[in-house]
Amino acid sequence: MKLIEIQGLRQGVSELVMGTDFIGMSGDQGADNEVMDQFVAIGGNTMDSARGYVGGRSEVGIGQWIAARGNRAQVNIFTKGAHPDENGSRMSKAKIREDLYNSLEALQTDYIDLYGLHRDDPSVPVGEILEILNEHLEAGRILTIGGSNWTHQRLEEANRYAAEHGLRGFDFNSPNLSLAKAQDPYWPDCVSLDSEGIAWHTRSGMPLLSWSSLSRGFFTGRFTPEDRSNADLVRVFYNDDNWERYRRAESMAADKGVTTIQIALAYVLNQPFQAGAIIGSRNEAEFKSCLDATQIKLTPEELAWLDLSELNLR
């Protein structure tokens, strides 16, 4: 599996990243271990989690798996903190430290490979945030930092500040990028990449790790324009352009002898910059399907045709 190179890491990031927002949910650590083993078996090496996933139990489950397998050096941990709570923003020195230390304890490790701030708070100056994070980078508790649901404008501002003040800036970004374009945020303050964001990543070269890279099942074939039973999917994705993208992905899949959802995943992985996909697979067959999708090569013209970009060029 292709590796994404991100500054500061000891090894590359597998282009498929395992989403773990269900780890710890069932209370069956053995079953969770089996799923994580299946991911590693296809060549994956990076786990995506967050302090808030399953009330912190996702990180605990990953930590127990790593301890049982003795594979810490072979695994990249991507976890996130500073998500706002019922009291509002938690983008402060004390709250970031609290979340980071709790994550380290839960994961049974003394460092986190990729640390992301789970939401931005634009009212806090980016310089202040970078000063906080650089303390942890210098102490070795974090190897590299990134934004999760940060706009590319804020990332650019942050890295400009870092360059001017001799600090480490953000080395990766984790928004939503998928073939179906979100017309409404999944959750409050979520960021989905649009054409402007894709253009910025192409220019800057900043690596991207996309959550909900498969549009929460939109391309599985389980849904139709007439089926409006999934209210969230209707709210976020149901529009004429996305159904046309679905039809084009379906047509291309038939031509290439693959599945529609594999084409949707290949769209993310074939961007003109380093892009990885956080996947929600939970069994061997789903992991194998995603692995097969990594072998699909799409040309710039095919990417433009899939996401209707060529219509804007006429």
pLDDT tens-digit series, residues 104-155: 999 999 999 999 999 999 999 999 999 999 999 999 999 999 999 999 999 9
Q: What is the pLDDT of residue 232?
A: 95
Find out if CATH 3.20.20.100 is the number for domain 3-174: yes
What is the rounded distance in angstroms from the CA atom of residue 147 to the CA atom of residue 154? 9
Residue owning tokens 């939503």? 176
Q: What is the pLDDT of residue 309?
A: 87
Q: Which residues of the chain have pLDDT under 50?
A: 313-314
pLDDT tens-digit series, residues 253-276: 999 999 999 999 999 999 999 999
* Sequence ranges of the domains in the chain: 3-174
Q: Helix (H, G, I), strand (E, B), or coil: what is residue 28? A: coil
107: CB partners within 8 A, 6+ apart? 59, 60, 62, 63, 66, 77, 79
What global pTM score does this model have?
Answer: 0.95
Q: What is the pLDDT of residue 314?
A: 40
What is the rounded distance in angstroms from the CA atom of residue 50 to the CA atom of residue 256? 37
Q: What is the pLDDT of residue 311?
A: 58
Q: What are the φ/ψ torsions at residue 79 (nearest 5 degrees)?
A: -130, 165
Q: What is the pLDDT of residue 310?
A: 66
206: CB partners within 8 A, 6+ apart? 155, 170, 171, 172, 173, 273
289: CB partners within 8 A, 6+ apart? 259, 261, 262, 281
**Residue 253: both structure tokens together:** 């899949």
Question: 14: exposed, middle or buried (C-beta count within 10 Å: 0-12, 13-18, 19+)?
Answer: buried
CB 291 within 8 A of CB 257: no
